[in-house]
Structure 1
Amino acid sequence: MLSDIKGSFIIAQTPFDDRGAVDLESIDSLTDFYLGHGADGFVVLGVSGEGGKLTPEEAQAVTARFIARAGGKPVIVGVSSPGTAQLALLTKQAMDAGAAGVMIAPAGGLRTEEELFGYFSTVFGMIGDVPTVLQDFPGASGVWMSVPSILRLVEAFPQIQVVKEEDLPSLEKISALRARQGRRVAILTGNNALYLPYEMGRGIDGPMAGFSHPEMLSGVYRLYTSGDVEGAHRLFDAYLPLVNYEAQGFWGVAARKEVMRRRGAIRHATMRMPGPKLSPAHMGELDLLLRNLERALERLG
């Protein structure tokens, strides 16, 4: 059951070669990199994973490759799409490949609670009893869901087993969801992990975020859940300047890919067009950030 998941779930990047083609071999090295730094599971084809830039055939190949390499760890597949037929196709492909579930955000253009419920009623009527992560990310979807609306969706559709909460400000919304919920679902958070230790304090079950140093995500989670709250904050604070830098939308994703290339996780830092390309100024900023990070980690011991 996805409702029982806890830990560090990585929003996986999609590797491309220097021409912009999907780099399947780098998926293997990237998955090993994530697992080696404490990943408890994966989300593939999310927003920062550039899922919307892939053809259905590419999405199927990327999903299958991650699942095959994940060593039995759960893999959740982002299937959000403007069209429900495309969403249903991607869902079937993902589940046939062995995914643990799918992640869905409401389609853009929904304005009322009844439209929201009508949409998910249609979606679940098409995909059936598939474990689902409800993604509350109005910054990407353009759809704002209130706490009562989210809780009503959870009660109406047992397929929803996880809420990925990344509306801002996140902290009060997390507290409200935890205080008012009936059926318990897992709550994980994204937003580039900008507020991770504080969100842990509000009762989340772990991060569902992307970062070039996934050992920070798993480290903060494990320190916090073991009772070392101050240690979790100290570790987070060492990485915070780089976390902030990677929080610049797709520019931040480009920076993340470059750092992971330097760390040997992927062969190329390419983003598929339309996507930004880092300038020499960006490279110098990353050099400075990584030097400062190394010094901060040395101080932590």
Structure 2
Amino acid sequence: MPLLTADAKGVFPIAPTPFLADGSVDNASIDSMMDFYATCSTGLTVLGQLGEAPKLDHAESLSIAERVIKRAGNLPVIVGVSAPGFASMRALTRDVMDLGAAGVMIAPPNTLRTDDQIVNYYRQAVEAIGADVPFVLQDYPLTFSVQMTPGVIRRIVNDLPSCVMLKHEDWPGLEKISTLRKFEQEGMRRISILCGNNGLFLDYEMQRGADGANTGYCFPDMLADVVNLSQAGKWDEAHDLFDAHLPLLRYEQQPGAGLAVRKYIMMRRGIIACDAQRRPAAPLSEKARAEVDNLLRRLAKRDPRAAAAIR
């Protein structure tokens, strides 16, 4: 599989990890999920924050990565390798790269406070995993409590050639995208900018210069349509489609509940067999399920893809 480059565009869904009701990994659902992603994605990320990676042991992580990579065909697969220490990060990185991963994603630990601390952390991470491994810089202050200014991102990009992608999840963050693209005009090396945060601002992020989405919304096929319409300059069509999904996007974005919503809808769509999370988990209440069902019924009036989830 080719390595990840700064030219990456499109939609790289953050894949959930399917589990059976007893908490074991559901390999059959990994296969069906990958077959679905192949219809709408240009790449994939596994073992991300909402892939329940901290609930997996090393052997399980490797097994999942191997199955996904084999099933992905020509789709580049990014593997989340964030870890408390560099020894485990190095081990997982080298193992998944040997399996054929296209690159890895690294989130900052929440102990970082200054720009110098952030830059030094990523320098040390690259020393640990190897400068030959392309990596994605994950910028998600809502979860990690680390504030990365455009200036500190520029330092990382200029100092570390193996940084080829920014997973942009800051909000408000539209000005950050514009600033980074301006830096490129002024001489900063270009990197791919794919946006997370459940795609909550994707339509305008594309207009600011993003290259696509790197998030786990339960309708990644919609995200792909928005990206494609935006890249074709069909802005009104992109906004109209995005607006139809916005109530469900907002509901799924709730911290602490979003993964349960996402897995429930993916189960309803037939992408995975079971919406179970590995414990500790926060399953949806019957009231919440009813609210999601209502959102799906409303969405089906504007996007027929939602109709299949309410039959």
Q: Partners in 1 of 2:239 and 2:64 — Cα distance?
A: 35
Unaligned runs of 5+ in 1: none
Q: Partners in 2 of 1:18 and 1:244 — Cα distance?
A: 27
Q: Partners in 1 of 2:175 and 2:52 — Cα distance?
A: 29
For the Cα contact (< 8 Å) 2:38–2:75, is it kept in 1?
Answer: no
Give the C-alpha shift of residue 89 in structure 1.
1.1
Tell me the amino acid that sits aligned with residue 95 of structure 2.
Q
Which residue does the alignment assign to 2:151?
148
Q: Decide which of 134, 137, 154 is 1:134's aligned counterpart.
A: 137
For the Cα contact (< 8 Å) 1:82–1:108, is it kept in 2?
Answer: no
Runs of 4+ with deviation above 6 angstroms = none
Q: Partners in 2 of 1:12 and 1:107 — Cα distance?
A: 22
Tell me the amino acid that sits aligned with residue 236 of structure 1.
F
Q: Does 1:166 align with 2:169?
A: yes
Tell me the amino acid that sits aligned with residue 57 of structure 1.
A
Which residue does the alignment assign to 2:56?
54
State the SS of the aligned residue for 2:29. Answer: helix
Unaligned runs of 5+ in 2: 305-311
Q: Partners in 2 of 1:236 and 1:121 — Cα distance?
A: 38
Tell me the amino acid that sits aligned with residue 152 of structure 1.
R
Task: Please identify, of 277-286 and 109-118, the stretch whose mean Cα deviation from structure 2 is larger.
Answer: 109-118
Give the C-alpha shift of residue 113 in structure 1.
2.0
Provide, for residues 123-168 of structure 1, a one-character-per-residue CA deviation record: whole Å limited to 9, x for no partner: 1111112000001111222211111111001000001000111111
Q: Partners in 2 of 1:297 and 1:53 — Cα distance?
A: 35
Tell me the amino acid that sits aligned with residue 158 of structure 2.
E
Q: Does 1:226 align with 2:235?
A: no
Which residue does the alignment assign to 2:83?
81
Give the C-alpha shift of residue 111 in structure 1.
1.4
Q: Partners in 2 of 1:284 and 1:214 — Cα distance?
A: 22
For the Cα contact (< 8 Å) 1:48–1:250, is it kept in 2?
Answer: no
State the SS of the aligned residue for 2:92. Answer: helix
Q: Partners in 1 of 2:145 and 2:55 — Cα distance?
A: 19
Matches within 5 A, 1:1-301: 1-36=4-39, 38-128=40-130, 129-181=132-184, 182-297=188-303
Q: CA RMSD in A?
A: 1.1
Q: Partners in 2 of 1:35 and 1:9 — Cα distance?
A: 11
Q: Partners in 2 of 1:155 and 1:184 — Cα distance?
A: 10
Provide, for residues 77-106 of structure 1, a one-character-per-residue CA deviation record: whole Å limited to 9, x for no partner: 011111111111111111011000000011
Give the C-alpha shift of residue 117 in structure 1.
2.3
